[in-house]
């Protein structure tokens, strides 16, 4: 499991790209979820304007994942708890 990075402002979190890889989702999709406010713990860094995910991170919607055949699978589980 990857260790959280220090973002330069005294908090530890994961950059958007690493969070997306950890969750098995696309970077663009996770960025869209951040803009919509569907990832609890996501905020934009005030200097670099890039998204960071801080603990306790939580997806507030069902993630979409592609199966081996290329079809979209939906999961009926509640919001996912993600330890960052």
* Spatial distance between the Cα atoms of 13 and 66, rounded to a whole number of angstroms: 26
What's the pLDDT tens digit per position in 48-76?
899 999 888 888 876 555 555 555 455 44
Residues 6+ apart with CB under 8 A from 24: 63, 65
CA-based R_g, the chain, Å: 13
CA 19 to chain centre: 5
* Contact assessment for residue 52 and residue 14, using Cβ atoms and an 8 Å cutoff: yes
Residue 70 to residue 74: CA distance in whole angstroms:
13
Q: What is the pTM of this model?
A: 0.62
Q: Which pLDDT value is given to residue 53?
A: 92
Task: Tell me the per-residue pLDDT of 20-59, one tens digit each, with 9 for 90 and over.
Answer: 998 889 999 999 999 998 998 999 988 989 999 988 888 8
- The first and second tokens of residue 35, run together, are 């803009």
């Amino acid at each position: 499991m990857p260790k959280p990075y220090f973002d330069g402002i005294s908090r530890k979190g994961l950059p958007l790209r690493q969070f997306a890889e950890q969750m098995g989702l696309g970077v663009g999709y996770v960025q869209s979820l951040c803009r919509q406010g569907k990832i609890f713990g996501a905020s934009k860094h005030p200097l670099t304007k890039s998204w960071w995910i801080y603990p306790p991170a939580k997806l507030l919607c069902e993630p979409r994942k592609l199966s081996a055949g290329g079809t979209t699978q939906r999961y009926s589980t509640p919001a996912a708890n993600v330890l960052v």
